[in-house]
Amino acid sequence: MGVWQSYRLRLKRRRWRIRAFRKRREMRALASRTSRIKPGDILLFCTLRNEHIRLPYFLKYYREMGVNHFLFVDNGSTDGSGDYLAQQEDCSVWHTDASYKKSRFGVDWLNWLQMRYAHGHWCLTVDPDEFLVYPFCDTRPLRALTDWLDASSIKSFAAMLLDMYPKGRIDEQPYRMGQDPIEIANWFDAGNYVISKNHNFGNLWIQGGPRARVFFPDKPAKAPALNKIPLVKWHRSYVYASSTHMLLPRGLNLVYDEWGGEKASGVLLHSKFLDTFAVKAAEELTRNQHYSASVEYKAYAASLQDNPELWCKWSEKYINWRQLEILGLMSKGNWA
């Protein structure tokens, strides 16, 4: 990489940090328990809107995994998500009614909170419908992973988004509060992902899965990105560049091996496709607050009307992380 490009990325990072700093005013603390964060705690950051129904299970899942403190940005929820979270002893909640789009899809808000509270912590950034699976997650807590990453001098951990969907119509089985969404949406596409390298930021760009297969069969280039780097040993000078797809400085995006080996990686089970999805898609379409003029949601709305079935004959039923590792969707790397 040339000096010039390196300098431009540095400027970009600074711009985003300033932007995050300015956006801090858009947020108002509903409950701030950040003084309880102890050194070495694992933090979880999340932006959400009207996700109350998912939250009890979400909190349970990550508490059991070993997350010590949750930091939420509630973007104008009207279903009581904010109040529910404010009552939780291990949550800090900020409220904002500002534009999701203008905060670069929540990234600016979280960048600010991370700059402020995550320095020196392992920090997990996920959406309320994303569930992290990492090697040995059934027998080892998240701290075992972060300790190992620390010992190996690894600062960021990749976990690609794996779209989960139910067999049958998406709205066939209603989701109950507190239920594991993977009980309903327990199928996935095992091997139809394409990867290219983003030479500017050094990250991989992964597309494919059921969304490319069903919603974008004619223009796969428009299919959403699935690469994510949700777990980072944060330093206050880091920024997420675009969602959690990539970061700056760009060394953090080098979560893949280029010389034939496999680095350790996980998977984010994406439980978006539940019965709640149709309502959400319709709402997001009118709000027009999503990436690239909500092109994704437009495609969903069009396809969902006639045939909301993502399942196909070659879908795989989810069992556990070992299955994902055998299928080559994630890897143990040299963690044994």
Partner 1 sequence: MLVHTALGRAEQVARHWAASGCPVVIHVDKSVPKKTHDSFVAALSDLPDVKFCARHRCEWGTWGIVAGSQSASELMLEKFPQVRHVYLASGSCLPLRPVQELIDYLTDRPRTDFIESATTADVPWTVGGLDRERFTLRFPFSWKKRRYLFDRYVNFQRKIGYRRRIPRGIVPHMGSQWWCLTRQTLSAILQDPERETYDRYFRKVWIPDESYFQTLARQYSTNIESRSLTLSKFDFQGKPHIFYDDHLQLLRRSDCFVARKIWPHADRLYQVFLTDAAGAMKRTEPNPGKIDRIFAKAVERRTRGRPGLYMQSRFPNYGWENGMTSGPYSVFQGFSDLFEDFEPWLAKATGARVHGHLFAPKRVEFAGGEAVMNGALSDSAPIRDYVPAAFLTNLVWSTRGERQCFQMAPRDAQDIAQFIAKDPNAQISVISGAWSVPLFKSNRNFADIRKEAAKLQKIENDFLDIMRSPNTKARVRIWTMAEFIEAPMEPLQTIIDEIGHRALRRLSEVPKMADLTGFGQFLQNLKNQGMHPYLMGDFPVTRDTGQQPGNPRKPYLVK
Segment lying near partner 1 (by CB under 8 A), choices 44-52, 193-201, 237-245, 286-294? 193-201
Query: Which lies closer to partner 1 via its Cβ, residue 49 or residue 211?
Result: 211
Give, to the nearest 10 degrees, the angle between helix 107-117 and helix 3-23.
Answer: 90
Q: Give me 236's structure tokens.
A: 């206050």
Out of 60, 191, 293, 319, the residue judged to bind partner 1 by CB under 8 A: 191
Query: Which lies closer to partner 1 via its Cβ, residue 89 or residue 218?
Result: 218
197 binds partner 1 (CB under 8 A): yes
Query: Which lies closer to partner 1 via its Cβ, residue 32 or residue 323?
Result: 323
Residue 300 CB, nearest approach to partner 1 (Å): 17
Residue 204 CB, nearest approach to partner 1 (Å): 6
Place of tokens 């932006």: 47
151 binds partner 1 (CB under 8 A): yes
Out of 186, 227, 243, 294, the residue judged to bind partner 1 by CB under 8 A: 227
Region at 2 (left for phi over 0; alpha for psi -120 to 50; beta for the rest): beta
Alpha carbon separation from 152 to 41, 122, 229, 263 (Å, rounded): 19, 14, 17, 11
Out of 78, 196, 292, 307, the residue judged to bind partner 1 by CB under 8 A: 196
Segment lying near partner 1 (by CB under 8 A), choices 37-45, 141-149, 178-186, 277-285? 141-149
Query: Which lies closer to partner 1 via its Cβ, residue 227 or residue 271?
Result: 227
Residue 31 CB, nearest approach to partner 1 (Å): 29
220 binds partner 1 (CB under 8 A): yes
Query: Which lies closer to partner 1 via its Cβ, residue 21 or residue 335?
Result: 335
Q: CA-to-CA distance for 136 and 115, rounded, in angstroms?
A: 30
Q: CA-to-CA distance for 5 and 286, rounded, in angstroms?
A: 38
Distance of CA 287 to the CA centre of its chain: 21
Residue 189 CB, nearest approach to partner 1 (Å): 4
Q: Give me 20's structure tokens.
A: 């995050």
Alpha carbon separation from 136 to 35, 160, 193, 319, 332 (Å, rounded): 32, 17, 24, 13, 8
275 binds partner 1 (CB under 8 A): no
Please list, in sequence order, all residues whose beta carbon lies within 8 angstroms of the beta carbon of residue 312, skipping any fewer than 6 positions away: 213
Site for partner 1 in 104-123 (CB under 8 A): none
The single-letter DSSP state of residue 127 is -
Segment lying near partner 1 (by CB under 8 A), choices 26-34, 48-56, 152-160, 236-244? 152-160
Q: Which strands, in side-by-side order, build the sheet including 266-270? A: 130-133, 266-270, 159-163
Out of 217, 279, 302, 320, the residue judged to bind partner 1 by CB under 8 A: 217
Out of 18, 29, 312, 319, the residue judged to bind partner 1 by CB under 8 A: 312
256 binds partner 1 (CB under 8 A): yes
DSSP 137-163: TTTS-HHHHHHHHHHTT--EE-EEEEE
262 binds partner 1 (CB under 8 A): yes
63 binds partner 1 (CB under 8 A): no
* SS3 per residue for 204-256: EEEEEHHHHHHHCCCCHHHCCCCCCCCEEECCCCCEEEECCCEEECHHHHCCC
174 binds partner 1 (CB under 8 A): no
Around 333, how many Cα atoms within 13 Å sit in the side-chain half-sphere?
18
Give contact residues for partner 1 (rule: CB under 8 A): 136, 139-141, 143-144, 147-148, 151-152, 158-160, 189-197, 204, 206-207, 210, 212-213, 216-221, 227, 255-265, 312-316, 328-336
